[in-house]
Structure 1
Amino acid sequence: MRLGQADQATVSAAVAAAEARTNGEIVTVVAPRSDAYHDVALHWAVLAILGMLASLAAFPQVAERGWALVDPWATRSPTGGLLAVALVLVTATFLLARLLLAWMPLRLALTPGSTEARRVRRRAVELFRVAAERRTKARTGVLLYLSLAERRAEIVADEAIHSRVAPEVWGEAMTALLMATRDGRPGAGMAAAVERIGAVLAKHFPRTEDDLNELSDRLVEL
């Protein structure tokens, strides 16, 4: 899922319209995903190894049959041979798990929601510090961040806004964004969220005559 030129224009226009009513500045960022989740893939691979070891413990005849393929004339499977078979099976299990989990949709499907939420929030805060934090004279910057693969979003506000607006106030904007994104319309969702953010900012920071456009209205796609 990506945003096209029409989506870019729609979101940029929504930012310009929202900022026309407020001294606040809105920065919009869309990322394909917020993390590679390599650690999640490794954790599942380790669990697969443990599952294989548990299976061998419950069904030791599997290792014995494996050794029989190596030495079909043996009347008794040596301990070293059984351990070698176990090592081969464990290694194959690990490599297969890593191969399957290289497919990002599967990796994301196996990632706990709480982990996704933390990674998306962390990425949003990182981008906010680069793109918006303390980059406006009155500390009135807001970052709207959408992570497409996780279908999660974050709103991060600068000092002046954070001191006056409770986090739950952004709920309507988040709902509009996420519902549209799940319907395959991330551009429309971003525009709707920007409109609602603008309404909040206009209430607390109405536009004054000396207001300047301090941050770009353009949607940033990473």
Structure 2
Amino acid sequence: MPKAVNPGLLSEAERARIAAAVAAAERGTAGEIVVMVAARSGAYRSLPPALALAGALLVPWPLILLTGLSATRIFLAQLVVALALLLGLAASPCLARLPRALPRFLRRARARAAAQHEFRTRGLSRTRGRTGILIYVALAERYADVVADTGIGTAPEAWQAVLADLVAALRRDALADGLVRAVEATGTILAEAAPPRPGDTDELPNRVIVTE
């Protein structure tokens, strides 16, 4: 499970605002709303080796065409290039920006998988009426998603406007405001899709989960 990130992503006041919005939204629904902000959807540890390998594979062609080096020396040159690229990329501060260099469909697929994983591992699928709902944001990918459990009878299309507004807020660097509006809009949808039931309790914490 990702470890907690430093509080710089959201101030204490912003976290309190979002938690208060969650508490207010849940008073009108049986739904259990959890807000999670991830600095990125994963560590992308496979990227430096993959890029280093790709770079090393390009080495032999100019050496074969332009030099008379033996196969052994060309192999050693490949190895040196691969190691240099691997160490350089792993130590580079640019690694944190690599997700944005990936194709959009790969970033979205990775972030979507991360949202589903967090939904399962953080207990949202174990609420009494299967009414857990996760509002997930991956900042490096500029991705937002809503993952709803089976007890919430809404079509995926119901969340499109919520997500569009949240992604627009991310692009304006207005994360806290976007999350508050997303929670409020989610509460409105849930009030109809999963109205309150007798004996409802607050099963999941209202605090914002922030990870790196």
Cα offsets for 1:197-216 (capped at 9, x unmatched):
11110121223453322211
Q: How does 1:53-72 map to 2 (within 5 A)?
A: 53-58=60-65, 60-61=66-67, 64=68
**Who is 2:3 aligned against?**
none
**Who is 1:26 aligned against?**
33
Residues matched between the structures, number: 201
Pairing partner for 1:90 from 73, 78, 83: 78
Query: In structure 2, how many angstroms separate the alpha carbons of the residues matched to 1:125 and 1:183?
Result: 26
Worse-matched range after superposition: 33-42 or 211-220: 33-42
Query: In structure 2, how many angstroms separate the alpha carbons of the residues matched to 1:139 and 1:106?
Result: 37
**Who is 2:186 aligned against?**
197
Task: Flag the 1:22–1:138 CA change in 2: closer, same or farther, 3 A.
Answer: same
Query: In structure 2, how many angstroms separate the alpha carbons of the residues matched to 1:3 and 1:196?
Result: 20
Amino acid at match of 2:39: P
Query: In structure 2, how many angstroms separate the alpha carbons of the residues matched to 1:110 and 1:53?
Result: 26
Matched, 1:50 2:50: no
Q: How does 1:17-166 map to 2 (within 5 A)?
A: 17-58=24-65, 60-61=66-67, 64=68, 80=70, 83-84=72-73, 86-102=74-90, 103=92, 104-161=95-152, 164-166=153-155
Q: Give yes or no for contact 1:101–1:107 (8 Å, CA) kept in 2.
A: no
Amino acid at match of 1:167: P
TM (norm. structure 1) is 0.81
Structure 2: state its 5+ residue gaps: 1-7
Query: In structure 2, how many angstroms separate the alpha carbons of the residues matched to 1:146 and 1:156?
Result: 11
Q: Give yes or no for contact 2:41–2:111 (8 Å, CA) kept in 1.
A: yes
**Offset, 1:97:** 2.2
Q: Give yes or no for contact 2:97–2:140 (8 Å, CA) kept in 1.
A: no
**Who is 1:184 aligned against?**
173
Amino acid at match of 1:52: V
TM (norm. structure 2) is 0.84
Query: In structure 2, how many angstroms separate the alpha carbons of the residues matched to 1:14 and 1:173?
Result: 15
Q: Give yes or no for contact 1:22–1:206 (8 Å, CA) kept in 2.
A: yes
CA RMSD of aligned residues (A): 2.1
Greater C-alpha radius of gyration: 1
Query: In structure 1, how many angstroms separate the alpha carbons of the residues matched to 2:190 and 2:14?
Result: 23
